[in-house]
Amino acid sequence: MPVAIRSAALNDVPAILAIEHRAPGAAHWTSEQYNKLVGSGVVLVAEETGKLCGFVCARAVAGEWEIENVVVAVGFLRRGIADEMVRELIRRAESEAASAILLEVRESNLPARGLYEKHGFREVGCRRVYYRDPVEDAILYALRFDR
Ligand SMILES: CC(C)(COP(=O)(O)OP(=O)(O)OC[C@H]1O[C@@H](n2cnc3c(N)ncnc32)[C@H](O)[C@@H]1OP(=O)(O)O)[C@@H](O)C(=O)NCCC(=O)NCCS
């Protein structure tokens, strides 16, 4: 069944939270934070036959976009859904003349790092002891658009 990628609406936030709560590697946010991002940032969702199966959210600050979270629901993993969402996010950032997309990720999160590297993100730094529970370094990635 094909997966559709579209912008999120406020009434998608409960399903976004449900997916996020079941993903241990994801950043954990409140519904207020997601509501705000749906209003002022970029939140894309993946939908299959009316069921939300993933989301990616980003914030634009002075021409630089920052990916805040990318999550695919358990049961939908390894089907190219994150690939499609990240590809669409990059397309939108380019079409809105962003200069770069930035993000940070746990050093041990190899699925996410593989995803970003596949889409051309390059490692640009490290923040030591950035995460808690468990304590871990953050690896910083950037995808820069040449203009
Ligand atoms: C990271 C995540 C979003 C990937 O979602 P997905 O839909 O399964 O990924 P895709 O099937 O689109 O795979 C795209 C690429 O990601 C990488 N990847 C995905 N899962 C992987 C795994 N288990 N091991 C290694 N690489 C993996 C690969 O490079 C893959 O490309 P390939 O299929 O050509 O090898 C998913 O694992 C997830 O939701 N993780 C928990 C939340 C999280 O940690 N988010 C990141 C926060 S920064």
- Give the pLDDT score at 142: 98
DSSP 85-135: HHHHHHHHHHHTT-SEEEEEEETT-HHHHHHHHHTT-EEEEEEEEEETTTT
- Provide, rounded to the nearest whole percent, the portion of the chain with pLDDT above 90: 90
pLDDT at 1 over 80: no
Tens digit of each residue's pLDDT (9 = 90 or more) over 105-144: 999 999 999 999 999 999 999 999 999 989 999 999 999 9
Cβ neighbours for 11, distance < 8 A, ≥ 6 positions apart? none
Q: Which atom number of ligand 1 is nearest to the Cα of residue 114?
A: 29
Residue 77 Cα to ligand 1 middle (Å): 7
Contact 71, 112 (CB under 8 A): no
- Provide, rounded to the nearest whole percent, the portion of the chain with pLDDT above 70: 99
Q: Which atom number of ligand 1 is nearest to the Cα of residue 25?
A: 44
Cα–Cα separations (whole angstroms), residue 78 to 49, 63, 71, 111, 139? 18, 31, 12, 10, 22
Residue 113 Cα to ligand 1 middle (Å): 8
Tens digit of each residue's pLDDT (9 = 90 or more) over 73-94: 999 999 999 999 999 999 999 9
Residue 80 Cα to ligand 1 middle (Å): 8
Residue 141 structure tokens: 């990635």
Q: What is the mean pLDDT of residues 62-72?
A: 95
82/62: higher pLDDT = 82
Contact 68, 30 (CB under 8 A): no
Average pLDDT score over the chain: 95
- Give the pLDDT score at 25: 78
- Give the pLDDT score at 118: 98
pLDDT at 147 over 90: no
Residue 127 Cα to ligand 1 middle (Å): 22
